[in-house]
Amino acid sequence: MSIKKRIEQHFSALSKSQQKVANFVLNNPTFISMHSAAEVGKKAGASETTVIRFCYSLGLDGYVQLQKEWTKYLLEHKTNSTLGNYVTSKEALVNEQLCEKVMGQISKQIANVANEIDPQQFHEATKKIHEANTIYLIGAGASAFAAQWLQFTLNMLRPNVKLVQTDTSTLIRTLQEVDETAIAIVISLHRYYKEPLQIAEQFQKRGAYIVAITDTNVAPIHQYVHDAFVLQQVELSTIDLMPVLMAFLNTLVAGMMSHDIPYYNQQRVNYDDFQNSFLANRWS
Interhelix angle 63-76/48-57, rounded to 10 degrees, is 70
**Final residue belonging to a domain, choices 13, 45, 76:** 76
Q: Is residue 88 part of a domain?
A: no
Residues 142 and 16 in one domain: no
pLDDT of residue 273: 78
From 76, 93, 125, give the residue that closes a domain: 76
**Which tens digit of pLDDT belongs to each residue from 158-176?**
999 999 998 888 999 999 9
| Domain of residue 60, CATH code | 1.10.10.10
**Residue 129 and residue 34 share a domain:** no
pLDDT exceeds cutoff 70 at 204? yes
Domain extent for 152: 116-276
**Does the pLDDT of residue 243 top 60, yes or no?**
yes
Quote the pTM value.
0.75
Percentage of the chain beyond pLDDT 90 is 61
Residues 38 and 142 in one domain: no
Domain assignment present for 120: yes
Is the residue at 202 inside a domain?
yes
The CATH number for 234's domain is 3.40.50.10490
User: Do the domain assignments include residue 110?
Assistant: no
Q: Could you report the per-residue pLDDT of 81-132, keeping only the tens digit for each?
A: 444 444 445 555 556 577 888 788 889 889 989 999 999 999 999 999 999 9
| Model pLDDT for residues 9-60, shown as the tens digit of each residue | 999 999 999 999 999 998 887 888 788 999 999 999 999 999 999 999 999 9
Query: Under 8 Å CB-to-CB from 214, ≥6 apart: which residues?
Result: 187, 188, 189, 221, 222, 228, 229, 230, 231
DSSP per-residue string spanning 98-149: HHHHHHHHHHHHHHHHHHHS-HHHHHHHHHHHHH-SEEEEEE-THHHHHHHH
Same domain, 68 and 158: no
**Among 25, 60, 76, which residue terminates a domain?**
76
Number of structural domains found in the chain? 2
The answer on 206 and 156 residing in a single domain is yes
Of the candidates 263, 39, 274, the one whose C-alpha atom is nearest the C-alpha of residue 158 is 263
Residues 153 and 268 grouped into a single domain: yes
